[in-house]
Amino acid sequence: MFIYQPSLSKELEYTLGKIKNLFGVIPPHWELLAFIAPKRFEMFIVEIKYLLNHPNINPDFFAMLRLHVANKAGFSYCKSFNTKLLLAKGYDKTSIKELKEDIGLIPLDNRHKFLAQKAIKAMYQPKEFTLKDINELKDLSWSDSDIYDAIDHAGFLFKFARIIKAYSK
């Protein structure tokens, strides 16, 4: 699948085993990152742990953002991975299909729907994303940090999808 065939240290194999237990699969680009840049992989895992334990945003929100962006951008591996992840978390196929097309239909509360819409707007229409958008989110009790985390994660997939393509055979 990739230019390199990962050969990992015992420590990284252990870490990836824990990831497999958590997600049911080891995303191939995670294994590649662990092989190429172990320190960067550690930083990446810290980021993922932060999102999974986010103090204010439902952790499923981030998988839903990734799935929506993957669908819009045609990143087939990411569509498949995040669909499987959400199905394993108990979301139904209809809800997943709807959120792929319209981020406003994510199966979460209205606060999360609005945050998702604004994060996608910031990613795809950054010139139209204004202080008014931020203030509307703050009116729903989202903090600056929450807003940043949502926007940052909406762009997360673009970076890693391009890296996967660069290292793919």
Whether pLDDT at 4 is above 90: no
Q: Model's pTM, two decimal places? A: 0.87
Residues 122-161: tens digit of each pLDDT: 999 999 999 999 999 999 999 999 999 999 999 988 787 7
Q: What is the pLDDT of residue 118?
A: 98
Q: What is the pLDDT of residue 81?
A: 84
Residues 98-118: tens digit of each pLDDT: 999 999 999 999 999 999 999
Whether pLDDT at 74 is above 90: no
DSSP letters for the chain: -BSS-----HHHHHHHHHHHHHHSS--HHHHHHHHH-HHHHHHHHHHHHHHHT-SSS-HHHHHHHHHHHHHHHT-HHHHHHHHHHHHHTT--HHHHHHHHH-GGG-SS-HHHHHHHHHHHHHHH-TTT--HHHHHHHHHTT--HHHHHHHHHHHHHHHHHHHHHHHHB-
Decide which of 20 and 94 is more confident.
Answer: 94
Mean pLDDT of the chain: 89
